[in-house]
Amino acid sequence: MSVIVQDGGFIADDFIGEWLDLTSDTDPATLKQYAGSAAIRIDFPAFSDGRGFTLAKILRLSGFTGRLRANGHVIADQYAMARRSGFDEVSISDELATRQPQEQWLARADWQAHDYQARVRRPATAS
Amino acid sequence: MYTYNDFDEAFVRERVAQFSGQVARRIDGSLTEEEFRPLRLMNGLYLQLHAYMLRVAIPYGTINPDQMDQLALIAEKFDKGYGHFTTRQNIQYNWPKLPDVPAILEALADVGMHAIQTSGNTIRNVTADHFAGAAADEAYDPRPVAELIRQWSTDHPEFQFLPRKFKVAVTGASHDRAVVRAHDIGVVLKEQNGVKGAEVIVGGGLGRTPMVGKTLNEFVPFADLLPYIEATVSVWNLLGRRDNKYKARIKITVHEHGIDDIRARVEERFTQIKPTFGGIDMEMLAQIEQHFVAPIFANKPVDAYTRAYENDPVFRAWADTNLAAHKNEDYSIVTISLKKPGATPGDASADQMRSMAQLARDYGHDELRISHEQNVILPHVHKSNLPALHAVLKGNDLATANAGLISDIIACPGMDYCALATARSIPVAQGIATRFDELKLEHEIGQLKIKISGCINACGHHHVGHIGILGLDRAGVENYQITLGGDGTETTVIGDRTGPGFAYDEIIPAIERLVHAYLNARLDAEETFLQAYRRLGMAPFKEALYPPKEEKANAA
């Protein structure tokens, strides 16, 4: 079983439908064709494999607006990174959810605060 | 100098709180040791041979006196009274205790400093020419761009778990003092048709597979620079090898795919990424530039300097080696050597840090720099103040007149501290410096850069030393390989290996033979070691290093 983490905390899986599953070694050149999908899960085989963050970013840049889930070994300390990269939510194992309970994830639910990236990407003020 | 705004300040405080939480969560088991490791590394905390080591960033090497005083305080309160300045413009504390680390980070935040991304598979502390804003040959001050890159790279959500570390260096002068061609990305500021921008160099690096960086783009205008760098790191994050950490750096990716292939991928990614930058970054850059306006230079006579130079040979020897040309001719750039013969290269005591901070206040327009050559720089000193400054340096064991000379050695911490090392570096550096001090030959020899690494990872930059020394382990015995002709400047060259290595007790005599061979072979005192090597090639040096057996017997 797995636990879904969103900004509000742990929720039971409420998705009904087909996931498109992508592995972390997916060739970025192939991503464009998935832009119209309803829901995509990107696998995190290990928390130290940071490819999923860039894949998420490119999917969003390719026009994908569906539900995007980071699936696998993502730790609470990476929640803000996942959200900032374009994921809507994270799916973790029961074991990880027990070891890193809800409050440790909620501590990173303020992912929009203290974000250098959002800061350097704001629109120009001068015309 | 850049000072933190409210956002920077709140960010580093939040980060200290997060790290304190991570330490607690490691202790209560929420984080496994494996999970905790990259988190502590991205906050600058290593586990070394004997203890933890905390590496503190000195972004682009620029630091003010209050910050230097704080580094001294930390050295005294939480360490053994000293710190070690590194080749990447950081300072390392070798003996902090884990429970003290949050308090150290808090003390750093108090003066606008941090240890973020000084380690781990992240974009590391951005380095720059240590003479920035002062050098006579500078066209553009690299610090504002370096600060912008610091902000962009800090906590970048995609780039905290890269295939490997990623290092960026920036220069804006004709003479490259930032070793930009030995970095993952080197940024060389330039102008084209009235537009400011930069040449972007990629895939340089030392380590076990040394490579000279290649030009990825001849000219990227400032407005495109962050998205262009982001596109480069983005391409590498997906393409870089994760199966073998020794092949993970971008230099290998560039080598395996070819620069043209990488360029095409970067260009394509750039067109995707560019629209996500709204343009405020150029306004931020303009604001950052306001922090780096030159000080108001004094206009007064330099007689005191001229008198001291003519009458005091000790001052003159120091002035001849440790001063560099400033863009204002009444000023000098002062290199304070942390390479006293017999001392550990790059180490400074808390008292020395405080005295350098005070000198910056009294004579240096409140600025200090840390050089990748592990010395401290006072970038703006009026010449009339140099004699008084020199007197203070003498009183604090900081007046060694050896900048750029044979005893101004870069050495990694080696087996005295480092868990990766296969041989000692520091005692070799000490031995060479002490030996040539005894011989009183140093000034006769002139410009000569010796760089020593205690393992193949090449933290001591041995590949780009005029003489490089690499300490290895051969069946449990230290063995030192020599390379010659390396160069870390705008004409970067990886040095050539001479042949079999030398034992620990043979390496200093071997260096001595090399130097005598140079002195015998050079055209005149003007021809440096590197120039002589380029003219003569390896042969005369190899002959000196490996004399025929019977000669050796006769000599003995």
Which among B323, B294, B468 has a CA at the least distance from the CA of B386?
B323
For the record, the structure tokens of B443 come out as 């000034």
Q: Name the residue ranges covered by the structural domains of chain B.
A: 1-119, 121-289, 303-395, 410-555
A85 neighbourhood in chain B, CB within 8 Å: 157-158
What would the 3-class secondary structure string for A59-117 be? HHHCCCCCEEEEEECCCHHHHHHHHHHCCCEEEEEHHHHHHCCHHHHHCCCCCCCCCHH
Which three-class secondary structure state does DSSP give residue B206?
Answer: coil
Q: How distant is the alpha carbon of residue B368 from its chain centre?
A: 15
Interface check for A53 against chain B (CB to CB < 8 A): the answer is yes
Q: How distant is the alpha carbon of residue A45 from its chain centre?
A: 14
ipTM > 0.95 for the complex: yes
Ramachandran area for residue B280 (φ above 0: left; ψ -120 to 50: alpha; else beta): alpha
Nearest CB to B38: which of A48, A51, A80?
A48
Measured CB to CB, residues of chain B less than 8 Å from chain A are: 7, 10-11, 14-15, 18, 21-22, 25, 29-31, 35, 38-39, 121, 148, 151-152, 154-162, 226, 234, 237-238, 242, 269, 272-273, 276-284
pLDDT digits (tens, 9 = 90+) for A72-123: 999 999 999 999 999 999 999 999 999 999 999 999 999 999 999 999 999 9
pLDDT digits (tens, 9 = 90+) for B281-308: 999 999 999 999 999 999 999 999 999 9
| Backbone dihedral angles phi then psi of residue B185, each to the nearest 5 degrees | -130, 130
- What distance in Å separates residue B156's CA from the closest CA in chain A? 6
What would the 3-class secondary structure string for B471-524 be? EEEECCEEEEEEEECCECCCCCECCEECCCCEEHHHHHHHHHHHHHHHHHHCCC
Residue B552: what pLDDT?
A: 52
Residue B551: what pLDDT?
A: 54
Nearest CB to A120: which of B151, B161, B234?
B151
Average pLDDT, chain A: 96
Grade residue B49 by pLDDT with cuts at 50, 70 and 90.
Answer: confident
- What distance in Å separates residue B43's CA from the closest CA in chain A? 13
Q: Could you tell me which residues are beta bridge partners of residue B255?
A: none
Do B158 and A122 count as a contact with CB atoms less than 8 A apart? no
Q: Fold match between B121-289 and B410-555?
A: yes
B73: pLDDT strictly greater than 60: yes
A78 neighbourhood in chain B, CB within 8 Å: 160-161
From the options 1.20.120.550, 3.40.47.10, 3.40.1230.10, 3.90.480.20, give the CATH code of B303-395: 3.90.480.20
Which among B103, B113, B117 has a CA at the least distance from the CA of B42?
B117
Residue B48: what pLDDT?
A: 82
Question: Which of A30, A32, A54, A106 to mutate to test binding with chain B, by most B CBs within 10 Å of its CB?
Answer: A54
Question: How far apart (Å, rounded) are the C-alpha atoms in residues B286 and B291?
Answer: 9
pLDDT digits (tens, 9 = 90+) for B401-410: 999 999 999 9
Interface check for A60 against chain B (CB to CB < 8 A): the answer is no
Those of residues 73-112 in A touching chain B at CB distance below 8 A are 75-78, 80-82, 84-85, 99-100, 104, 107
Query: What is the torsional sign of CA B186, B190, A124, B57?
Result: positive
User: How far apart, in Å, do the first and last CA atoms of chain A sit?
Assistant: 53
Grade residue A33 by pLDDT with cuts at 50, 70 and 90.
Answer: very high
Quote the DSSP letter at residue B103. H
- What distance in Å separates residue A2's CA from the closest CA in chain B? 18
For the record, the structure tokens of B461 come out as 């930059």
Exposed/middle/buried for B437, CB within 10 Å: 0-12, 13-18, 19+? middle
Fold category of B121-289 in CATH: Sulfite Reductase Hemoprotein; domain 1 (3.30.413)
B21 neighbourhood in chain A, CB within 8 Å: 107
For residues B254-266, average pLDDT: 98
CATH numeric code, B1-119:
3.30.70
Residue B556: what pLDDT?
A: 46
B545: pLDDT strictly greater than 50: yes
For residues B531-536, average pLDDT: 98
CA-based nearest residue in chain A for residue B227:
A121
Average pLDDT, chain B: 96
Interface check for A33 against chain B (CB to CB < 8 A): the answer is no
Do B283 and A126 count as a contact with CB atoms less than 8 A apart? yes
| Backbone dihedral angles phi then psi of residue B186, each to the nearest 5 degrees | -110, 135
Question: How far apart (Å, rounded) are the C-alpha atoms in residues B87 and B346?
Answer: 9
Question: How far apart (Å, rounded) are the C-alpha atoms in residues B418 and B541?
Answer: 31
Do A124 and B158 count as a contact with CB atoms less than 8 A apart? no
Q: Name the residue ranges covered by the structural domains of chain A.
A: 2-120
Which among A121, A117, A123, A3 has a CA at the least distance from the CA of A53?
A117
CA-based nearest residue in chain A for residue B40:
A77
From the options 3.30.1360, 3.40.390, 3.40.50, 2.10.220, give the CATH code of A2-120: 3.40.50
Q: Which residue has the tokens 């921008």?
A: B197
Q: Spelled out in words, what is the top-level CATH class assigned to the domain B410-555?
A: alpha beta
Interface check for A43 against chain B (CB to CB < 8 A): the answer is no
Question: How far apart (Å, rounded) are the C-alpha atoms in residues B29 and A124?
Answer: 45
